């Protein structure tokens, strides 16, 4: 053999080495399972199939990630968007505790009950955080995410009114079915998807970060439904509907003949007992593809057993129920047409078996595994969370305050819902912290808001719904909640290194809600609203004589004028509107509750003079800033005029924050020193952009706070005197 032959052989040897390796690996992987597949059958086949698929995807995605990473980096660098190039931090973590009240936090810190928050305040800072007008979660979190005043983001309340019908409608999202369809037999198949449109305007600051290549993980920040595309992952929250398209409709099944049928956000279904068996249907969404109108149903039957147990069969699965204990999340399917099912999840709670059977079913929520509506970005993110951590609540307002208000659920049942939702979220939050080491992580915990709403009466001895017989557990429910959140903060602090900035914030504070103000009655009494004969007690403003009404109230925030050309039956000339606003604001400011000899309204704000931006005209004309202990009455919120202005609030919903924003600032704890003495919620987005070295867009109202760099000297005092002044952001 000549030398040239040797060289040729060596070259061939080199040429085949790579393919040989790949072939060898492929051979090993493919040949080993073949015998098993053939001789053991389909089960093994699927096992091997799953294995092979997972193996190949994992292997090749790993390879792709390694080989593509430099190219991605180069592309970003060439575009001038190299992530974090000008950043002062690697990561910003924002832990949102909806409704954390500064006075309670300060009290518990002073008593040594919140060691982690105290440590965070010492290490960085603690300040009160200016909230929005009105201080409502959808408004406040929209301001947080866009950095704009409500006049620019168009969210002024949970609800707004339909200008034609005066009916309340959701302010943040509009869902309409597909416009075109084709009829096949008894079915009408929609061509295209339903139109789900977010009504919040403005650009969230994480979208701006994404445009600069910075990744964000956003978990359950209110008013993020439907999710907008951006560079990151997002799970929507407040305003995500249930499967029926409502904001949460629970169902109460009972064998009792006498029940309260007039439930808010709930439905009573009477069932009959057939020996130990109870048969009924879950009520699903309307069948939009059937010619026959009406909701889809899903049959279930429950067999009562001994010792407080029962067996539930639904959607082909069997579940064991125990009296007083929630079932895990149960998958249910509603058949729309052959082969077409709408899937949801719910929990069952067998309240009691004797003397009458009572079964509570949570609102049927969108199944995160196969969502009927988009609830996450990217859409597979909800599936990822479900697969990695199990099923979880997807409804915007997952905690069923209405069932507790109606006294169908007990305090403990409600607390369970809140704690479960927070536990689910904690899992997601820490998963995000593990995955995103460079970028933004935001997670909002709602439990604090819901529990304070429902358990404030146990803290306030003067509350009309105060129960002197309450157990210690209930009296301490809010304190326990703050302690739990403190533990969460401690765990989060352990996950954050020196290159991370941790902020713990609340969108507003909290206060007692003892008395409700019926603004419609006040307007009627003062000649601004006229009712038709017998108009008292009619909901949704059905009793109002529009031809003689200048102003009306619906929703939580304030009063609308009945303006010609704007409202369908308007009577107020647009030229007179400004004067009327001013007149109403002046008359309402300082409104007193003579029965209790208390100031009821601190200040009524002329909204059009307060907000700035293109959507200012969409706001209520007057935003009412109530005094401590007051809020709009339950009746006025749903447009149901009564015969007196002030009402005792006897409901479990006993704490609130829809008052004068100066009275309910939020909190801001930060792991680094912040020099500004009056930070506002709307400043946080701009602050995060600034920390990442991204220019703040000119349309943002918020301005970056002066956050110290890592290693800056600690502040002398954790809680400064000046920080006790609340600030209104609008």
Kindly list the residues in this chain that would bind other proteins in the complex (CB under 8 A): 10, 13-14, 17-18, 20-21, 24-25, 27-28, 32, 36-47, 50-51, 54-55, 57-59, 61-62, 64-66, 69, 72, 215, 233, 316-317, 378, 380-381, 383-384, 387-388, 435-437
Tell me the three state secondary structure of residue 342. Answer: strand
How far apart CA 299 and CA 318 sit, in angstroms, is: 13
Of the pair 317, 643, the CB lying nearest other proteins is at: 317
Residue 374: CB minimum distance to other proteins, A: 15
Residue 23: CB minimum distance to other proteins, A: 8
Of the pair 588, 694, the CB lying nearest other proteins is at: 694
Q: Determine the number of helices (DSSP H) and then strands (DSSP E) in the chain.
A: 18, 36
Of the pair 215, 458, the CB lying nearest other proteins is at: 215
What is the DSSP-derived secondary structure letter of residue 471? -
Contact 695, 205 (CB under 8 A): no
Which pair of structure tokens corresponds to residue 415? 């607390």
Contact 234, 377 (CB under 8 A): yes
Tell me the three state secondary structure of residue 698. Answer: coil
Residue 431: CB minimum distance to other proteins, A: 9
How far apart CA 407 and CA 369 sit, in angstroms, is: 32
How far apart CA 577 and CA 571 sit, in angstroms, is: 10
Of the pair 40, 487, the CB lying nearest other proteins is at: 40
How far apart CA 135 and CA 660 sit, in angstroms, is: 8
How far apart CA 577 and CA 355 sit, in angstroms, is: 59
Residue 303: CB minimum distance to other proteins, A: 19
Of the pair 59, 272, the CB lying nearest other proteins is at: 59
Of the pair 385, 523, the CB lying nearest other proteins is at: 385
Which pair of structure tokens corresponds to residue 342? 């709408």
Sign of the Cα pseudo-torsion (229, 234, 238, 242, in order): positive
> How many other C-beta atoms lie within 10 A of the C-beta of residue 77?
13
Residue 12: CB minimum distance to other proteins, A: 11
How far apart CA 466 and CA 451 sit, in angstroms, is: 15
Of the pair 36, 264, the CB lying nearest other proteins is at: 36
Among residues 208, 106, 79, 225, which one has the least CA distance to residue 687? 208
In whole angstroms, how far apart are CA 685 and each of 145, 280, 708? 6, 49, 16
Of the pair 263, 443, the CB lying nearest other proteins is at: 443
DSSP per residue, 441-463: EEEEE-HHHHHHHHHHHHH-TT-
Of the pair 149, 217, the CB lying nearest other proteins is at: 217
Residue 219: CB minimum distance to other proteins, A: 13
Q: What residues does 298 pair with on adjacent strands?
A: 282
Residue 125: CB minimum distance to other proteins, A: 31
Residue 420: CB minimum distance to other proteins, A: 19
Residue 56: CB minimum distance to other proteins, A: 10
Residue 233: CB minimum distance to other proteins, A: 6
Of the pair 27, 184, the CB lying nearest other proteins is at: 27
Q: What are phi and psi of 607, to 5 degrees?
A: -60, -35
How far apart CA 557 and CA 536 sit, in angstroms, is: 21
Of the pair 32, 299, the CB lying nearest other proteins is at: 32
Burial 427-436 (b: 16+ CB within 10 A, else e): ebbbbbbeeb
Residue 40: CB minimum distance to other proteins, A: 5
């Amino acid at each position: 053999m000549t030398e040239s032959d040797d060289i040729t052989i060596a070259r061939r040897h080199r040429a085949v080495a790579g393919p040989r390796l790949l072939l060898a690996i492929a051979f090993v992987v493919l040949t080993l399972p073949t015998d098993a597949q053939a001789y053991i059958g389909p089960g093994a086949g699927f096992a091997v199939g799953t294995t092979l698929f997972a193996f190949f995807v994992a292997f090749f995605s790993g390879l792709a990630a390694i080989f593509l990473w430099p190219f991605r980096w180069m592309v970003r660098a060439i575009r001038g968007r190299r992530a974090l190039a000008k950043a002062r931090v690697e990561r910003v973590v924002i832990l949102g505790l909806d409704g954390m009240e500064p006075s309670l936090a300060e009290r518990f810190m002073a008593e040594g009950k919140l060691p982690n928050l105290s440590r965070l305040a010492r290490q960085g800072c603690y300040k009160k955080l200016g909230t929005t007008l009105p201080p409502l979660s959808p408004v406040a979190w929209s301001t947080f995410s866009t950095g704009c005043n409500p006049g620019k983001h168009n969210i002024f309340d949970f609800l707004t009114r339909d200008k034609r019908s005066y009916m309340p409608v959701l302010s943040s999202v509009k869902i309409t079915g597909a416009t075109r369809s084709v009829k096949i037999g008894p079915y009408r198949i929609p061509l295209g998807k339903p139109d789900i449109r977010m009504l919040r305007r403005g650009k969230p600051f994480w979208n701006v970060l994404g445009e600069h290549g910075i990744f964000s993980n956003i978990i359950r920040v209110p008013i993020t439904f439907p999710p907008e595309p951006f560079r990151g992952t997002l799970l929507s929250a407040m305003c995500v509907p249930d499967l029926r398209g409502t904001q949460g409709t629970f169902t109460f099944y009972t064998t009792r003949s006498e029940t309260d049928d007039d439930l808010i956000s709930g439905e009573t279904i009477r069932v009959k007992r057939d020996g130990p068996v109870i048969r009924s249907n879950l009520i699903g969404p309307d069948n939009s593809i059937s010619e026959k109108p009406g909701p889809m149903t899903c049959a279930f039957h429950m067999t009562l057993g001994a010792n407080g147990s029962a067996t539930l069969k639904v959607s082909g699965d069997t579940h064991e129920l125990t009296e007083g204990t929630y079932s895990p999340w149960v998958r249910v399917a509603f058949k729309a047409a052959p082969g077409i099912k709408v899937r949801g999840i719910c929990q069952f709670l067998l309240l009691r078996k004797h003397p009458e059977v009572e079964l509570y079913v949570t609102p049927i929520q969108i199944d995160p595994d196969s969502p009927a509506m988009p609830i996450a970005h990217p859409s597979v993110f909800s599936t990822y969370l479900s697969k990695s951590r199990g099923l979880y609540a997807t409804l915007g307002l997952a905690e069923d305050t209405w069932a507790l208000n109606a006294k169908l659920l007990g305090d403990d049942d409600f607390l369970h819902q809140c704690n479960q939702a927070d536990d689910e979220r904690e899992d997601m939050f820490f998963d995000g912290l593990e995955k995103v080491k460079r970028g933004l992580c935001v997670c909002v915990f709602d439990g604090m808001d819901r529990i304070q709403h429902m358990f404030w009466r146990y803290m306030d001895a003067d509350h009309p719904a105060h129960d002197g017989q309450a157990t210690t557990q209930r009296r301490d429910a809010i304190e326990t909640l703050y302690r739990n959140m403190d533990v969460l903060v401690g765990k989060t602090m352990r996950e954050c290194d020196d290159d991370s900035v941790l902020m713990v914030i609340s969108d507003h504070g909290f206060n007692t809600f003892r008395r409700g103000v019926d603004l419609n009655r006040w307007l009627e009494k003062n000649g601004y609203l006229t009712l038709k004969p017998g108009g008292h007690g009619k909901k949704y403003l059905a009793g109002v004589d529009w031809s003689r009404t200048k102003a009306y109230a619906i929703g939580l925030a304030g009063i609308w004028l009945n303006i010609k050309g704007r409202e369908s039956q308007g009577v107020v000339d647009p030229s007179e509107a400004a004067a009327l606003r001013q007149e109403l604001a002046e008359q309402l400011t300082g409104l007193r509750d003579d029965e209790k000899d208390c100031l009821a309204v601190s200040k009524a704000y002329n909204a059009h003079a307060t907000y700035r931006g293109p959507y200012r005209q969409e706001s209520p004309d007057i935003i009412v800033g109530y005094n401590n202990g007051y809020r709009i009455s339950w009746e006025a919120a749903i447009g149901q005029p009564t015969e007196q202005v002030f009402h005792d609030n006897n409901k479990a919903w006993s704490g609130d924050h829809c008052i004068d924003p100066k009275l309910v600032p939020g909190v801001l704890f930060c792991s680094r020193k912040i020099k500004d003495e009056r930070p506002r919620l709307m400043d946080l987005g701009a602050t995060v952009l600034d920390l990442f070295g991204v220019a703040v867009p000119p349309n943002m109202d918020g301005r970056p706070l002066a956050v110290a760099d890592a290693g800056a000297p600690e502040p002398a005092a954790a809680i400064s005197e000046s920080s006790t002044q609340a600030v209104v952001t609008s």
